[in-house]
Structure 1
Amino acid sequence: MIDMLIIGGGINGAGIARDAAGRGLSVMLVERDDLAGHTSSASTKLIHGGLRYLEYGEFRLVRESLKERERLLAIAPHVIWPLRFVLPQTRSPRPAWMVRLGLFLYDHIGGRRRLPGTQTVSLDGAYGAGLSNRKGKAFVYSDCWVDDSRLVVLNARDAADRGATILTRTRFVSAARDADGWRATIADENGTREVRARTIVNAAGPWVADVLAGLVRRNDRPGVRLVKGSHIVVPRLYEGDHAFMLQNPDRRIVFAIPYEGDFTLVGTTDEPWTDAPAKAAIGAAETAYLLETVARYFARPVAAADIVWSFAGIRPLHDDHAADASAVTRDYVLDLDTDGAPVLSVFGGKITTYRKLAEHALRTLGVAGDDWTAGAALPGGAIPDGDAAAFVRGLAADHPAVPEARLGRLVRAYGTDARAILDAGGEDLGGGLTTGEVDHLVRREWARTVEDVLFRRSKLGLHVPDGTAARLGAYLGAI
């Protein structure tokens, strides 16, 4: 009998597994695909308060998110780092005074300590590089960038290091209550088996309502609103390390973010999803909308043929009955059913608040123990003095033949674990991906496929030469 069975290997499931294992609970997490295989790897890659949520009166959510932004930056500085956002007023549908008031609140309601505050700049300077209209002013504010899928994996790793069992490619089939708890059936490539658990946590993301209906067979539980968000990646649109927050005439927001050195990430859309949950892909109308946004703001023309990659995810938002998909709350709701053994279901939420959501979930379940995750670094995050540049220099001294760009990539992905990966050596499969790094991803991070390695554990799929994917596939098949 285990204490907790968690269904879903996205950010919420992994975060709850980490927190629960750290409190001494016996935990099993099952994920039918790969960790972060769906929504949690298809975000806009931001740890942010959500400036636009102020417009919808979501002050509590913004305040909590801003507080979490500071905490997450401290515990995962290798996969989260500060980013300045430029908000041009040249085509803004909102008056400047309204935007500045929102930014004043944004700077002050979350107890900002580590990041610089808002400033007003002229677009004819460095912050206007790449824009077609460089007249007028802009506001520049702070948030953070995150490697979303790696954040999920690091939480799962920390949970496993603390005793949790993490099972990927393992499907939750069914469960029924008995006098002692739950009898659950799970299935993988080797067949089905039964798991006994005192509590079930339903963190199935877009499938949360379906799982809950199968568990409690009641229709009076909270609803889920599925909204598809899509992104495109194009060749770099401008110079500089800053991002842009672009306001469209329909008042929707699109971000343009420096991505993987050579590219710009543009997104997101907000499209209602009315079909059954599934693996999502960008639609033609969404592609056109994002390309129109680029054309509205940037000097460099971009066509559909220039898109090097696109991705889409289905966000499982709590259904607050908002008419506009863009206005649906990003806050979370925890639903506890105690008609017998407890099942806790997670509706909504965002990456930024996953850690706080996990604390709230365990408190709702009555789990004892102190809240601990805010001050504990995620694997690889304990970089000496927080000085990543100094750590890279130390690695360079020990591995002088390794290019600086690869050293920087490894530290940004693995933090202090980069040293062990470098020491492992191995054959170069192309683009700096070695068999030693792949071994680490397989043994410690549950990678099993080419996509796991090249697009979730890393974004090397955008960089490696032709032939790397085939060589990687052959290597994975042989180990």
Structure 2
Amino acid sequence: MEHDNALPPFSSPRSVKIEKMQQLTATPVVIIGGGINGISTFRELALQGIPVIMVEQGDWCQAASGALSRMIHGGLRYLETGEFSLVKESVQERDRLLKNAPHYVHPLRTTVPIDGWSGGLINAGKRFLRLSERPSRRGALIIKTGLSMYDLYTRQYGSMPRHELNGQSATRQRWPDFAHWVKCSATYYDAWISAPERLGVELINDAEQANPQALALNYVQLIGSDGENLTLLDTLSGQHFTLHPHVVVNAAGAWIDRLNRTLMQNHPGKKLIGGTKGSHLIIRHPQLLAELNGEMVYYENQEGRVCIMFPWYGNVLVGSTDIRIDDPDNVVCEAEEQRYILESLRFVFPHFTVDDKDVLYTFSGVRPLPASDSEVNGRISRNHSLVLLPPEAGRDYTTLCLVGGKWTTFRKFGQQAADKVLKLIGERRKVSTGDMAIGGGKDYPQPERKAKWIQQVSQRTGVPIERLSQLLARYGTLAANIATFINQQPEPDGNLSQLPDYSRNELRYLIQREQVEALEDLLVRRTPLAISGQLTLARVKELAELLGDELGWSTARTAEHLETTLSRLASLHGLTGLYPLHASEGVSHVSNP
């Protein structure tokens, strides 16, 4: 823990990064795509001292990396498809995240409701032997076998408690509102992540602080390649850059194939990605929340598709769907998907009345799965792979494509990609990230030491103990930096009038030090305000004014940006109650002309 009141150095302001980019002509590595796999690769290379450049056409973790089920899991269901190496890797990386990011990744007790003992035995054997792809419901014997195997990996590579199989009496005692078809249940442990998008930003900031030559810029788009140089566009300022790379890492996720067509004039047309769309709902339902009581229910719908529900910031997260999709742009949770998810919930808890009016927020993303001929989406591998496209006539640089992957294993995938890049540019690994804490997970106090940590930082910064406790819960040990910033910066207006749990300086810190360039970045990715159902029109307006003031926008520009944000929140996340904004409800004057 820091013992003085000086703030540590932070990533250069955007203007400084843009200036550095303009001065560059050649660079060893350019990563295109700022989802979690691109970010992980960037971090791995930056920590080896490589002057790597990463660009993202939107915001960090804006697409699939911000639309995950919020689980960090060992891949229990991959045992059924024989992907044992993926389960091993997932269990190892899950436990690394519990250790390296304890401020955001937490154990999650999970219950599986089961309708009988012997169901699904024949079909499970066929699926394991690749003789059938048809999903079906699984009985207690199959689930018991799978969890016993899972325990072997957990004991060898992880640290979670063993599973338990619960009979009907014990199941009913714990879950009195389960449907009548539930005859028994199984309980095991995995993990969940409270702020995945924030973790992505912290990985970037850690990398840039360790290596000032490494640059990461959001809202920069690849618009062309002549086979030797890349042409990049800063979509915020309209400025262009030209870079000559030795290696291009294609980390565009669901857009990999589209990006390859831009990178390669003679692109062979081989399809690498066969994405599927997954949609989720955030539901406000006090009875269901009380029934869950901090646990996740991991259940099979009537047709055998696996779904989940667990507590989320005082509400309930439920999902998901799995639909083949060819166009990954602007995917949304469609009405029939919402209907499917609500029906699946009622299948498990038929006594609860849950309908459309209880849905606070929706989100949807495209899983960047490898291209597959499988007739069942759930059977497509969740493993990751690297596809190397060497230089050819008309293209001087090597392209490395990051195909597939899942959130839990991002560090390992980034490590593998970085090692391949290091070999291509003639460098060697100097630093391992296996035991490296991330962002606010550094020096994170154990439960019995939290009170002392909070007291010490409070005494040093002058920020009250109650407020520091809140900051620690939100940002981990980065709370000390934020408290120092709050104490050093004049804050005559203190907390936000519409959102008193947040202070203006807290949000100013995020804007200045976490590359916030749009209101949506702040509402959806740097804070949980949108996904936790805390947004009102008045709150969004107040935050728009704060952002506009901080970024030097005019009143007109702030108002226009607010209108665009409200429209996007309505179309992408179902927040129709915030839109349209009537002329009489426009933003008030901001101090910058």
Q: TM-score, normalised by structure 1?
A: 0.92
Shift in Å, 1:402: 5.4
Residues 485 and 509 in structure 2, CA contact (< 8 A), matched pair in contact too:
no
Deviations 1:141-181 (A, max 9, x none): 11110122122112111222122211111111122334xxx
Shift in Å, 1:221: 3.8
Q: State the SS of the aligned residue for 2:65.
A: helix
* Identical amino acids, percent of aligned pairs: 29
More strand by share: 1
Partner of residue 283, structure 2: 234
Structure possessing the higher radius of gyration over alpha carbons: 2
Does 2:95 align with 1:44? Answer: no
Partner of residue 183, structure 2: 136
Shift in Å, 1:388: 4.7
In 1, distance between residues paired with 2:360 and 2:271? 39
Partner of residue 116, structure 1: 161
Q: 2:412 aligns with which of 331, 352, 356?
A: 356
Kindly report the root-mean-square deviation, in angstroms, between the aligned alpha carbons of the 2 structures.
Answer: 2.2
In 2, distance between residues paired with 1:278 and 1:374? 34
In 1, distance between residues paired with 2:311 and 2:277? 22
Deviations 1:230-267 (A, max 9, x none): 0001124132111110111211111001101x201001
Partner of residue 150, structure 1: 198
Deviations 1:405-460 (A, max 9, x none): x6555323311111222343342121412122212211221122222122211212
Residues 220 and 232 in structure 2, CA contact (< 8 A), matched pair in contact too:
no
Partner of residue 375, structure 1: 435
Uncovered stretches (5+) of structure 2, i.e. residues with no partner: 1-25, 120-136, 551-593
Partner of residue 428, structure 1: 495
- The correspondence of residues 85-104 of structure 1 with structure 2, limited to 5 A, is 85-90=110-115, 93-104=137-148
Residues 33 and 251 in structure 2, CA contact (< 8 A), matched pair in contact too:
yes
Deviations 1:113-157 (A, max 9, x none): 42212112321233x155344963211111110122122112111
- The correspondence of residues 140-179 of structure 1 with structure 2, limited to 5 A, is 140-146=187-193, 147-163=195-211, 164-178=214-228
- The correspondence of residues 68-467 of structure 1 with structure 2, limited to 5 A, is 68-90=93-115, 93-110=137-154, 111-121=156-166, 122-126=170-174, 128=175, 130-133=177-180, 136-146=183-193, 147-163=195-211, 164-178=214-228, 182-190=229-237, 191-216=239-264, 217-219=266-268, 221-236=270-285, 237-239=288-290, 240-260=293-313, 262-274=314-326, 276-298=327-349, 299-339=351-391, 340-365=396-421, 366=423, 367-370=427-430, 372-384=432-444, 386-388=445-447, 390-391=449-450, 394-395=453-454, 398=458, 404=466, 407=468, 409-425=470-486, 426=491, 427-429=494-496, 430-461=499-530, 462-463=533-534, 467=538
Count of aligned pairs? 471
Residues 184 and 197 in structure 1, CA contact (< 8 A), matched pair in contact too:
no
Residues 222 and 335 in structure 1, CA contact (< 8 A), matched pair in contact too:
no
In 2, distance between residues paired with 1:329 and 1:402? 49
Shift in Å, 1:371: 5.2
Residues 67 and 112 in structure 1, CA contact (< 8 A), matched pair in contact too:
yes
In 1, distance between residues paired with 2:271 and 2:308? 31
Aligned AA (1:328): I
Aligned AA (1:86): T
In 1, distance between residues paired with 2:68 and 2:32? 20
Residues 51 and 106 in structure 1, CA contact (< 8 A), matched pair in contact too:
yes
Shift in Å, 1:89: 1.0
Q: TM-score, normalised by structure 2?
A: 0.75
Uncovered stretches (5+) of structure 1, i.e. residues with no partner: none
Partner of residue 472, structure 1: 543
Q: State the SS of the aligned residue for 1:141.
A: strand
Deviations 1:284-341 (A, max 9, x none): 1111111011111123210011101110001111113211112211111211111242
